[in-house]
A = this chain, B = another copy of it.
Amino acid sequence: MIIKGLQIGLALLAYRNLLNSKNRSLAAENKTIHMSLVVVGSMAFDAIETPFGKSDKIIGGAATYIAWCASNFTTVKQISVVGGDFPQSELDALANRGVILEGVQIKKDEKTFFWSGKYHLDMNTRDTIETQLNVLENFEPVVPDSYQDCEILMLGNLVPGVQSSVIKQMKKRPKLIVMDTMNFWMEIMMDDLLHTISLVDVLMVNDSEVRQLSGEYSLVKAAKKIMAMGPKYLIIKKGEHGALLFHENEVFFAPALPLEEVFDPTGAGDTFAGGFVAHLAKTKDFSFNNMKSAIILGSALASFCVEKFGTQRLTEINESDIKTRVQSFVQLVNFDIELV
């Protein structure tokens, strides 16, 4: 009981700084003491079908989810591309949260990337119904001068060559490069993918992708192989089964919160990534121990994301919600070995 109480107490103290601002969108000046965070990824339209319902064409995209999540904690410098059909109101909503959009190209005469998919009953697998690349087809990201102070670079899931092009444009290598990717790129451009992977510090992929990338079924063996490809850290996302963080010979496991309803898993991985990098940017501490906290924060945010379609739930939550959710995670895994 003592340890549990103490740990929760510390958790709350720790998040006080993150969460207790009266003002929901933290003023930019409060964020300048943080590390500069640049996020690259898609901003998109999605149409989603789950066993619980069907969405209209709604706002999606890896960088959208990451920005909504990370802007709870720090300033985000966004790099992406949208078409003329992307609602200005959505860009304004992000700008209001302190997301800097100078690196977001708006191609007036083109259409925004569109994806539609249908989830199976287990919510862990899905079929793609339609993909329209549109503006993503020839996306050439341009890093604005004002982003050259980047200390943490978050590469959301995108064409591996686009991800590496952003790294190349950075005049000074960011202190930490975090990369998300997916099986699709393993199937059609493995060489490009392996090149980008070799350039990053933290790779995050799901368990089946880890197996595909490494050719090893055992996640421990797979992690060793993948860390030999370049990344010093590997995060394995296991959806409802939580996440693993590997670094050298250390391993940390963060559970997913058991939820009564998982309504729409779209963007949960991106949200997780957003929470992870935002915590590191805010705390300016890349130790293994602090990465554990970053993963817990990412997991807590992802557990909100799945409660409604798209980014909806992320737009609703406040500091108090996040605080309560982080507390649930502390309680979920905390055990006190009693003296006997």
Q: List 9 A-B contacts (CB under 8 A).
A: A10-B336, A10-B339, A218-B259, A220-B260, A242-B255, A251-B332, A253-B258, A293-B336, A293-B338
Closest to A15 in B: B337
When the two chains form their complex, are residues A289 and B1 in contact, meaning their CB atoms are under 8 A apart?
Answer: yes
For A3, give its contact among B10, B18, B122 (CB under 8 Å): B10
> Are A217 and B335 also in contact (CB < 8 A) when A1-B289, A251-B258, A340-B282 are?
no
Closest to A284 in B: B340
Q: Is A285 an interface residue (CB 8 A)?
A: yes
Q: Distance (Å) between the CB of A10 and the closest chain B CB? A: 5
For A335, give its contact among B244, B283, B292 (CB under 8 Å): B292
Q: Distance (Å) between the CB of A32 and the closest chain B CB? A: 16
User: How many A residues face the partner with a CB closer than 8 A?
Assistant: 53
Q: Is A261 an interface residue (CB 8 A)?
A: yes
Q: Is A252 an interface residue (CB 8 A)?
A: yes
Q: Is A333 an interface residue (CB 8 A)?
A: yes
What residues on B are CB-neighbors of A251 within 8 Å?
258, 332
Q: Is A241 an interface residue (CB 8 A)?
A: yes
- The CA of A220 and the CA of B40, in the complex, are separated in Å by 36
When the two chains form their complex, are residues B220 and A244 in contact, meaning their CB atoms are under 8 A apart?
Answer: no
When the two chains form their complex, are residues B335 and A221 in contact, meaning their CB atoms are under 8 A apart?
Answer: no
Q: Is A6 an interface residue (CB 8 A)?
A: yes
For A336, give its contact among B4, B238, B289, B338 (CB under 8 Å): B289
Q: Footprint of B on A, CB under 8 Å?
A: 1, 3-4, 6-7, 10-11, 13-15, 17-18, 121-122, 217-221, 238, 241-242, 244, 250-255, 258-262, 282-283, 285, 289-290, 292-293, 295-296, 330-333, 335-340
- The CA of A258 and the CA of B250, in the complex, are separated in Å by 11
When the two chains form their complex, are residues A337 and B262 in contact, meaning their CB atoms are under 8 A apart?
Answer: no
For A253, give its contact among B333, B337, B338 (CB under 8 Å): B333
When the two chains form their complex, are residues A332 and B253 in contact, meaning their CB atoms are under 8 A apart?
Answer: yes
- The CA of A218 and the CA of B306, in the complex, are separated in Å by 13
What residues on B are CB-neighbors of A282 within 8 Å?
340
What residues on B are CB-neighbors of A262 within 8 Å?
218
For A333, give its contact among B10, B293, B333 (CB under 8 Å): B333
What residues on B are CB-neighbors of A295 within 8 Å?
335
When the two chains form their complex, are residues B253 and A336 in contact, meaning their CB atoms are under 8 A apart?
Answer: no
